[in-house]
Amino acid sequence: MQGHPGACAAPPMNDFNAGMPQVGAFELKTQFCTREGEYRLLPQCDLIRNNRNGYTTQTNTPVKISFIHDKICYNVGRDLFIFAYKGVLKAINPSKPIDKKLYKGSFPTCHDFNLVASTHDLQLLVGYSAGQIQIVDPTSRDLSRIKVFNEERIIDRTKVTNVAWVPFSTQLFLVSHSSGQLYLYKSDCTSGPQAPHYQVFKTGPGYTIYTCRSKQTRNPLFRWVIGEGSLNNFAFSPGEGKYLATVSQDGVMRCFEYARMDLIGSFRSYFGGLLCVAWSPDAKYVLCGGEDDLITLWSVSEKRVVARGQGHNSWVNCVQFDPYLCGDGGYRFGSVGQDTQLCLWDVNESDMLKQPKPKKLSSLQTVNSNGGVASNRESTSPPAQPDQNSKNHQNNNSAPTAPHAKHKENSSGNHKDKEHCNGASGTPLPIQLGCTQCPRLNQVPMLEPLICKRIAPERLTSLHFREDSIITACQEGYVFTWARPGVRVDSGERADFGTSVAAAFIDIDLPSTANSMNNSSSTLTSSGATDVITT
């Protein structure tokens, strides 16, 4: 793996650090211990990169991972890969992808498998940098089965930040954009040849929902305008998907009752935008991370921040609960960030119930849409004392007045708003600094990570918990599998499959302008045979 863009082989575990890319003077960890035992990085790391000469795959798009059954999908630069995945049992064979697509125009930014569709009819939802959306079947070569939405970019011209199927639906899916808008599509509905005309369906504090003004049902079915700036991520609650949590560049997490389209609660970050969101397995808590370098835990029933966590030294890119270590009032969750660190956290409900609830300020001190503080008169509340556990913030008791300036150098290019909202997003309610929606750092418990380890040569972008392992991915395309304690690994099954991707691939030309998708030749190479399909 030393410098070769397509390298996959790794030295034996005891010499693994000798072959691992290093981050400055820091040694990358290949194992760590928790209360349940030792996690080990498998000696065969899975790295899939396009190494064709003369073509650059580097983009600022985070590497994201999707799973279905025994298959894994992830994007690296302009490539989209689908592989058979056996976890700790067998390494990914880079020479035998189920599907690999190289995009010449816009490139994939996010993806999601439909978990309720037939195993013989995979539905992979893919969002792109220029705003288009596709539904593809990675197991089929029939290009006529590909469905394209927002092809002419008349619905939204900005980057797709996240896509997700509505729980238990084979047709409905949600798409968020950097314009701050969220769209509901139906796969068997068409879009009109012209830009849709909208009418207000519902409005609330900080959001407005529109529907198309049309005699016939057409896409998008609904358009949500939420907050200010990019809508960075969203997630349905586990189970039936009763709740929908969204996080935006304005630093606000909003929790909606999805079917009723009602806002049931929200909180604001301590600093800057929120980038990621996840639900606890029992749907009691929402976990968020973002540009304040903190993780924040919000209670659905109490509608307030119940804990924050401090362990990262840069933006938190992904948070997830570990469903296999949650229960009996205790929760395990993880986070990865641009500081290349993996942090694992433990929290108990009894610890969160001991905290004093934040007191409201008697002043007019409020948090504005950028996360800064505005006050018309001095607070009558006594000044709060600095939090002793803080290491990254010089002043823990007042929100910064320039929330986007501090970490601008860490930006991955995800937060440039390319298109303003076409309608009012409702009248936002002022949020007082020190209230339940925006508590000071010393008003809620400050968690410390169980472990915090540097594990990657580049910023970490994805985290997944599986029954036998933890999966992480970084910006350079490394996908690491960490075996859980007690899991037996047959190292012979994770043999070196070579250093290059002799790939089956499809070259797809998606437009970066408002023009329609250009006709292109798609080449599929498999087992020495080449088929040329013109679309």
Of 451, 362, 418, 92, whose CA–CA distance to 229 is shortest? 418
Phi, psi angles (nearest 5°) of residue 417: -80, 110
Give the DSSP letter string of 276-342: EEEE-TTSSEEEEEETTSEEEEEETTTTEEEEEEE--SS-EEEEEE-GGG-BTTEEEEEEEETTSEE
- ∠ CA(445), CA(450), CA(455), 5° rounding? 125
> For the chain, which residues make up each domain, given as ranges?
13-356+447-526
Query: Could you tell me how far CA 406 lies from the centroid of its own chain?
Result: 22
Q: What is the pLDDT of residue 183?
A: 99
How far apart, in whole angstroms, are the C-alpha atoms of residue 268 and residue 298? 10
Across the chain, which has 535 residues, the per-10-residue mean pLDDT values are 34 42 68 95 63 50 92 93 87 84 92 86 94 93 90 96 97 98 95 90 96 89 97 97 98 98 96 97 98 97 95 98 94 98 94 58 42 38 37 40 40 38 50 82 93 95 96 92 87 41 40 38 29 27
Q: What is the pLDDT of residue 389?
A: 40
Answer CATH for 13-356+447-526 from 2.40.30.10, 1.10.580.10, 2.60.40.420, 2.130.10.10 = 2.130.10.10
User: Contacts for 392-398 with beta carbons within 8 Å, 24 or more apart?
Assistant: 392/293, 392/310, 392/313, 393/270, 393/271, 393/441, 396/440, 396/441, 396/442, 397/440, 397/441, 397/442, 398/373, 398/433, 398/440
Q: What is the pLDDT of residue 43?
A: 76
Four-point Cα dihedral 177, 104, 478, 526, nearest 10: 130
pTM comes to: 0.79
Q: What is the pLDDT of residue 49?
A: 53
Query: Could you tell me how far CA 374 lies from the centroid of its own chain?
Result: 31
Cα dist from 368 to 270, 373, 441, 466, whole Å: 12, 6, 18, 40
Of 202, 239, 243, whose CA–CA distance to 426 is shortest? 202
Q: What is the pLDDT of residue 315?
A: 98
